[in-house]
Chain A
Amino acid sequence: MRHPSLRARRVAAVSVGLVLAAGAAACGPEDNDAKASAGDSTPHKGGTLTVLNSDPQQDFDPARLYTSGGGNVPSLVFRTLTTRNRENGAAGAQVVPDLATDTGRPNKDATEWTYTLKKGLKYEDGTPITSADIKYGIERSFAPELSGGAPYLRDWLVGAADYQGPYKDKKGLSAITTPDERTIVFRLNKPEGEFPYLATQTQFTPVPKGKDTGTKYEEHPVSSGPYKVVTNDNDGEHLVLERNTYWSASTDAERKAYPDKIDVRSGLDSSVINQRLSASQGADASAVTTDTNLGPAELAKVTGDKELAARVGTGHFGYTNYLAFNPHVKPFDNVKVRQAVSYAIDRSSVINAAGGSALAEPATTYLPNQKSFGYTPYDLFPAGRTGNAAKAKELLKDAGYANGLTITLTHSNSKDFETSPEIATAVQDALKKAGITVKLQGLEDNDYRDKIHNVKTEPGFFLAHWGADWPSGGPFLAPIFDGRQIVKDGANFNSGFLDDKSVNAEIDAINKLTDLDAAAKRWGALDKKIGEQALTVPLFHPVYKRLYGENIRNIVISDWTGVLDISQVAVK
Chain B
Amino acid sequence: MSEAFVAVEAAGTGTQPVPAVSGARQFWRRLRVQRAALVAAIVVALLVLVALAAPLLTAIEGQDPTTYHPSLVDSARGGVPLGSFGGIGGDHWLGVEPQTGRDLFARLVYGARVSLGVALAATAVQVAIGVVVGVAAALGNRWVDQLLSRITDIIVAMPLMIMALALLAVVPSSFPRPVLVALIIGFVAWGTIAKITRAQTLTLKELDYVAAARLSGWGTLRIARRELLPGLAAPVITYAALMVPANITIEAALSFLGVGVKPPTPSWGQMLTSADVWYQAAPQYLLLPAGALFLTVLALTVLGDGVRTALDPRAVSRLRVGTGRKGEAKADGGVGTVDAGVAKPAKTVGAGVEKEVRS
Q: A271-B277, A355-B78, A358-B77 are in contact. Are A297 and B98 (CB under 8 A)?
A: yes
A415 and B258 form a contact (CB under 8 A): yes
Interchain CB contact (< 8 A) of A425 among B76, B78, B263: B263
- Bound-state Cα–Cα, A430 to B100, Å: 12
B263 and A440 form a contact (CB under 8 A): yes
Binary interface encoding of chain B residues 256-269 relative to chain A, with 1 for a CB under 8 A from any of its CBs, else 0: 00110011100000
Q: Report the minimum CB–CB distance from B215 to chain A (whole Å).
A: 59
User: Which of A297, A304, A414, A425 has the most C-beta atoms of chain B within 10 angstroms of its own C-beta?
Assistant: A297
- Asked if B118 is at the interface (CB within 8 A of a chain A CB), the reply is no
Q: A297-B98, A425-B264, A443-B173 are in contact. Are A356 and B76 (CB under 8 A)?
A: yes
- Bound-state Cα–Cα, A134 to B77, Å: 47
- Asked if A174 is at the interface (CB within 8 A of a chain B CB), the reply is no
CB-CB < 8 A to A429: which residues of B? 66-68, 264
Q: Report the minimum CB–CB distance from B59 to chain A (whole Å).
A: 19
- Bound-state Cα–Cα, A358 to B259, Å: 30
B173 and A442 form a contact (CB under 8 A): yes
Binary interface encoding of chain B residues 65-100 relative to chain A, with 1 for a CB under 8 A from any of its CBs, else 0: 011101001111111100000000000000000111
B277 and A422 form a contact (CB under 8 A): no
- Bound-state Cα–Cα, A154 to B99, Å: 44
Interchain CB contact (< 8 A) of B70 among A349, A440, A442, A443: A349
- Bound-state Cα–Cα, A447 to B70, Å: 32
Which of B278-286, B301-309, B328-336 lies at the binding interface?
Answer: B278-286
- Asked if A295 is at the interface (CB within 8 A of a chain B CB), the reply is yes
Binary interface encoding of chain A residues 267-302 relative to chain B, with 1 for a CB under 8 A from any of its CBs, else 0: 000010000000000000000000000011111110
Q: Report the minimum CB–CB distance from A350 to chain B (whole Å).
A: 10
CB-CB < 8 A to B277: which residues of A? 21, 271, 295-298
B98-128 CB contacts (< 8 Å) to partner A: 98-101
- Bound-state Cα–Cα, A223 to B281, Å: 44
- Bound-state Cα–Cα, A314 to B68, Å: 28
A301 and B173 form a contact (CB under 8 A): no
A-B contact count (CB 8 A): 113
A413 and B258 form a contact (CB under 8 A): yes
Interchain CB contact (< 8 A) of B80 among A300, A346, A430: A300
A355 and B79 form a contact (CB under 8 A): yes
- Asked if B146 is at the interface (CB within 8 A of a chain A CB), the reply is no
CB-CB < 8 A to B98: which residues of A? 296-297, 300
- Bound-state Cα–Cα, A295 to B73, Å: 16
CB-CB < 8 A to A424: which residues of B? 263
B78 and A358 form a contact (CB under 8 A): yes
Interface residues on A, range: 35 or more
- Asked if A351 is at the interface (CB within 8 A of a chain B CB), the reply is yes
- Bound-state Cα–Cα, A441 to B98, Å: 24
- Asked if A162 is at the interface (CB within 8 A of a chain B CB), the reply is no
CB-CB < 8 A to A442: which residues of B? 173, 258, 262-263
CB-CB < 8 A to B281: which residues of A? 297-298, 300-301, 304
B78 and A296 form a contact (CB under 8 A): yes
Binary interface encoding of chain A residues 397-439 relative to chain B, with 1 for a CB under 8 A from any of its CBs, else 0: 0000000000000000111000001101110111000000000
A441 and B173 form a contact (CB under 8 A): yes
Residue of B nearest to A22 (CB): B78
Residue of B nearest to A414 (CB): B258
- Asked if B274 is at the interface (CB within 8 A of a chain A CB), the reply is yes
- Asked if A129 is at the interface (CB within 8 A of a chain B CB), the reply is no
- Asked if A386 is at the interface (CB within 8 A of a chain B CB), the reply is yes
- Asked if A444 is at the interface (CB within 8 A of a chain B CB), the reply is yes
- Bound-state Cα–Cα, A358 to B264, Å: 25
Interchain CB contact (< 8 A) of B263 among A304, A414, A421, A447: A421
Q: Report the minimum CB–CB distance from B103 to chain A (whole Å).
A: 13
Interchain CB contact (< 8 A) of A357 among B68, B75, B80, B174: B75
- Asked if B169 is at the interface (CB within 8 A of a chain A CB), the reply is yes
- Bound-state Cα–Cα, A348 to B98, Å: 14
CB-CB < 8 A to B279: which residues of A? 297
User: Which of B77, B79, B278 has the most C-beta atoms of chain A within 10 angstroms of its own C-beta?
Assistant: B79
CB-CB < 8 A to B173: which residues of A? 441-443
CB-CB < 8 A to B78: which residues of A? 295-300, 303, 355-356, 358-359
- Bound-state Cα–Cα, A303 to B73, Å: 14
Q: Report the minimum CB–CB distance from A284 to chain B (whole Å).
A: 18
Q: A426-B68, A442-B173 are in contact. Are A348 and B100 (CB under 8 A)?
A: no
B278-335 CB contacts (< 8 Å) to partner A: 278-282
- Bound-state Cα–Cα, A271 to B274, Å: 14
Residue of B nearest to A447 (CB): B169
CB-CB < 8 A to B280: which residues of A? 297, 301
Residue of A nearest to B169 (CB): A444
- Bound-state Cα–Cα, A442 to B260, Å: 11
Q: Report the minimum CB–CB distance from B14 to chain A (whole Å).
A: 61
Q: A296-B79, A386-B70 are in contact. Are A356 and B263 (CB under 8 A)?
A: no
- Bound-state Cα–Cα, A426 to B259, Å: 19
CB-CB < 8 A to A299: which residues of B? 77-78
- Bound-state Cα–Cα, A188 to B277, Å: 50
- Bound-state Cα–Cα, A303 to B79, Å: 12
- Bound-state Cα–Cα, A21 to B100, Å: 17
In the complex, besides A300-B278, A447-B169, 8 extra interface pairs with C-beta distance below 8 angstroms are A295-B78, A296-B98, A297-B98, A357-B76, A359-B78, A425-B66, A429-B67, A440-B263
- Can you name 7 A-B pairs with beta carbons within 8 Å? A297-B277, A300-B77, A303-B78, A352-B75, A353-B100, A422-B263, A429-B68
Chain B positions near chain A (C-beta within 8 angstroms): 66-68, 70, 73-80, 98-101, 169, 173-174, 258-259, 262-264, 274, 277-282
**Pairs of residues from A and B, 4 with the lowest C-beta to C-beta distance, nearest first:** A296-B78, A300-B281, A299-B78, A300-B80
